[in-house]
Amino acid sequence: MALFDFLKSSILSKIAMAVTGLLLVLFIVGHMVGNLQVFLGRDVFNTYAHFLQSLGELLWVIRFALFATLVVHIISSIRVKLLNAGAKPVKYSIKKYVKATWFGRSMLLTGITVFIFLAYHLAHFTIGAVDPSNFHFDEVYGPNGMFVRHDAWLMVVMGFKQPIVALLYIAGVILLGFHLNHAIQSMFQTLGWNHPKYFPTIEKSSVVFSVIIVLLYMTIPVSILLGLVGGNL
Ligand code: HEM
């Protein structure tokens, strides 16, 4: 009975939400570090992309795990929200610590927008459906040009040379930043780590973290658009 009560309670959803949220943040940071290698040149970036592709079946396991993490995160976040709304007809006094910003109230909206951005992004760089003419590039590499691999660097550069594409990504990562900032703060609140003494620090750290993520991601489309990367092409 205790186990049944536990599964029904919001505690399990809260744990699931926090753990999957943390995993997604780790992915976002890792993916960003990987992508920033675009500044280290074509060879370094393509070696990294080639390494990921060479993982073969393991890559599919990682992709599946990532997708499952995202699904569990969405479901558990919605469940926690609904359980909280149902359980507390009278608002928390704690509520005041998380500022009732427009984006705070619009987690669902920014969440959906980030989801749409992600779908567009996968169709663009992973499936190649958005811009097929700038997807299939090959790079000849190795001693005496012995090998051929996917030229992911050129794909990214040719993608972001188009202002509309670069602007879409800039908008996408800004929305991701708003979502991330509020999600981190609300996770701390949900888990009960919202002591008035520490919450302002949590709030500031979350803003700083989200701004750094947004700015670093943005450097990629902005630098390519300004011709600082791939300007000679
Ligand atoms: C300037 C920003 C970004 C750039 C340049 C970029 C670049 C890329 C590239 C080149 C790929 C294809 C990897 C491959 O299939 O070989 C990719 C895949 C992916 N990206 Fe991004 N990305 C950016 C932002 C983001 C953001 C903000 C997110 C998350 C919200 C994200 C999530 C993903 C996911 C989930 C995949 C699929 C991974 C896979 O299929 O293995 N990306 N990205």
Residues 6+ apart with CB under 8 A from 204: none
Between 48 and 92, where is the model more confident? 48
Ligand 1 pocket: which residues have CB below 6 Å? Answer: 28, 31, 35, 49, 52-53, 63, 66, 118, 121-122, 125-126, 152, 156, 169, 173, 176, 217, 220-221
How large is the average pLDDT for residues 189-215?
Answer: 92
Ligand 1 closest atom vs CA 221: 1
Residue with CA at minimum distance from ligand 1 atom 14: 126
49-80 burial, b at 16+ Cβ within 10 Å, e below that, comes to bbeeeeeeeeeeeeeeeeeebbebbeebbebb
**Each residue of 130-186: pLDDT tens digit?**
999 999 899 999 988 899 999 999 999 999 999 999 999 999 999 999 999 988 988
Distance 215 CA to ligand 1 centre (A): 16
Distance 76 CA to ligand 1 centre (A): 24
Number of residues assigned to the chain: 233
Q: Is 58 helix (H, G, I), strand (E, B) or coil?
A: helix
Asked if the model's pLDDT at residue 18 lies above 60, the reply is yes
Determine the average pLDDT of the residues in 68-90: 81
Question: Helix (H, G, I), strand (E, B), or coil: what is residue 50?
Answer: helix
Rounded to 5 degrees, φ, ψ at 155 are -60, -45
Distance between CA atoms of residues 50 and 169, nearest Å: 23
- The minimum-distance atom of ligand 1 relative to the CA of 62 is 41
The answer, as to whether pTM is greater than 0.85, is: yes
- Cα(155) to ligand 1 centroid in Å equals 12
What is the Å distance from ligand 1's center to 15 Cα?
Answer: 27
Q: How far apart are CA 93 and CA 152, in angstroms?
A: 51
* CA 94 to chain centroid: 28
Nearest-angstrom CA–CA distance, 202 and 88: 24
Q: Relative to the CA of 52, which ligand 1 atom is closest? A: 16
What integer is the mean pLDDT of 83-111?
61
Position 207 pLDDT exceeds 70: yes
9 or 1, which is more confident? 9
Taking CA atoms, 142 is separated from 42, 43, 135, 139, in Å, by 13, 10, 22, 10
173 CA: nearest ligand 1 atom: 27
